[in-house]
Amino acid sequence: MAVALLTVFIACQRPDSLGRSLSQWDCKEIAREVEKSGLVKSISHKTVYRILKNDKLKPWQNHMWINPRVPRDEALYKKIKKIEKFYLGKVKDDEIRLSLDEKTSIQPRKREYPTKPAMPGIPNLVEHEYERMGALHLFTAFNINNGEVYGICYENKRQIELIDFLEFLDDDIPDNIKQIKIVLDNSSIHKGSKTQKWIDEHPWFEFEYTPAHCSWINQVEQWFSILQRKRLRISDYDSLDDLEDKIIQFIDEWNENPHPFNWTKNSFDKIYKKCKNNIT
């Protein structure tokens, strides 16, 4: 019993705190640490695994997380309520609602030899060696009501490029639209002084910011995952221009048969439940 308790205790400590230079534990290292305690002469890594399995412990695994800059409290709940209203509220005939963000640092990566198509029993073959040729930043706006996508590629990601993209939206969106509402995250370029000045001069644009560390609530992120999976998974382009052409072609093909994402009240109820569990 004491050996099992010690094994679990070690697994629940960071190795550095016990004087070990390890990034994380594995069963062999934990067994070594238990033996060093003198509580038992020897213990196998398989025994350690069985003990940890009983407590559902896997210290050899890790997941990324982020410590919130703002508390997960009632204030967060209210901010998400605004996003729910943005997504699910009735849209007037003379307004459009967009989800906007940037997909950054998309690299062409020209391969030394062309990518080979799949053959029976053989997947696509991508040459390991490639040439770096810079990167593009895709500024994108997703129409949450009909799924239409607007996009422009830039070589920089600054307020200048964002304002140019907003100008593009203003020119491209039909004249019968009198109000352009946009949900976007708290990126510095979205809240910079130049951007705010432009918004003040274009009052028919209205920004709604997502809560801090909640970029996943921005619908355009879902579209980015589709772009990544269907167009960017294999990075093999002749140049930045070639990459840009292929991205814009993908957007054009998407817009031939666009579709919105199915966010419902139930989607937000699940979010609220998680928020309320953290509200004391």
Instruction: Write out pLDDT tens, residues 45-60.
Output: 999 999 999 999 999 9
pLDDT tens string 207-231: 999 988 787 899 999 999 999 999 9
Q: Is the pLDDT of residue 25 over 80?
A: yes
Categorize the per-residue pLDDT at 279 as very low, low, confident or very high, splitting at 50, 70 and 90. Answer: very low
At 280 the pLDDT is 41
Q: What is the pTM of this model?
A: 0.79
Across the chain, mean pLDDT equals 91
Going 236 to 237 to 243 to 249, the CA torsion angle's sign is: negative
At 276 the pLDDT is 64
CA angle 221, 223, 224 (to 5 degrees): 60
Categorize the per-residue pLDDT at 69 as very low, low, confident or very high, splitting at 50, 70 and 90. Answer: low
In terms of C-beta density within 10 A (0-12 exposed, 13-18 middle, 19 or more buried), how is residue 174 classed? Answer: exposed
| Average pLDDT estimate for 115-125 | 92
- Side-chain-side CA neighbours of residue 196 (13 Å): 7
CA–CA dist 31, 49 (Å, integer): 9
Backbone φ, ψ for residue 137 (5° rounding): -120, 120
| Average pLDDT estimate for 254-270 | 92
At 209 the pLDDT is 94
At 44 the pLDDT is 95
At 67 the pLDDT is 62
Backbone φ, ψ for residue 133 (5° rounding): -140, 40
CA–CA dist 52, 110 (Å, integer): 46
* Residue ranges, CATH 3.30.420.10, the chain: 74-277
CA–CA dist 245, 251 (Å, integer): 10
Worst-scoring range by mean pLDDT, 61-65, 131-135, 211-215, 275-279? 275-279
Q: Where are the beta strands (DSSP E) in 84-155?
A: 95-106, 110-111, 130-131, 136-143, 149-154
| Average pLDDT estimate for 13-39 | 94
Q: Is the pLDDT of residue 101 over 90?
A: yes
CA–CA dist 278, 132 (Å, integer): 45
SS3 152: strand
Of residues 116 and 77, more confidence is placed in: 116
Residue 122 DSSP code: B
Superfamily of domain 74-277: Ribonuclease H-like superfamily/Ribonuclease H (3.30.420.10)
Beta partners for residue 241, in sequence order: none
- Chain position carrying tokens 């490029």: 161
Q: Is the pLDDT of residue 260 over 90?
A: yes
Beta-strand pair 95-106/136-143: antiparallel
Categorize the per-residue pLDDT at 102 as very low, low, confident or very high, splitting at 50, 70 and 90. Answer: very high
DSSP alpha helix (H) spans, 89-229: 159-172, 188-191, 193-201, 220-227
Specify the amino acid at residue 213. Answer: H
At 221 the pLDDT is 96
Which token pair is 161? Answer: 């490029």
Beta-strand pair 110-111/136-143: unpaired
At 196 the pLDDT is 96
**Which residues neighbour 101 within 8 Å (Cβ) at sequence distance 6 or greater?**
140, 184, 185, 187, 215, 218, 220, 221, 224
Worst-scoring range by mean pLDDT, 78-87, 133-142, 166-175, 247-256? 78-87
Categorize the per-residue pLDDT at 275 as very low, low, confident or very high, splitting at 50, 70 and 90. Answer: low
Instruction: Report helix angle 45-54 to 2-11, nearest 10.
Output: 80
**Cα separations (Å) of 245 from 111, 128, 231, 250, 271?**
18, 23, 12, 9, 38
Categorize the per-residue pLDDT at 145 as very low, low, confident or very high, splitting at 50, 70 and 90. Answer: very high
| Average pLDDT estimate for 125-138 | 92
Beta-strand pair 205-209/179-184: parallel
| Average pLDDT estimate for 123-140 | 93
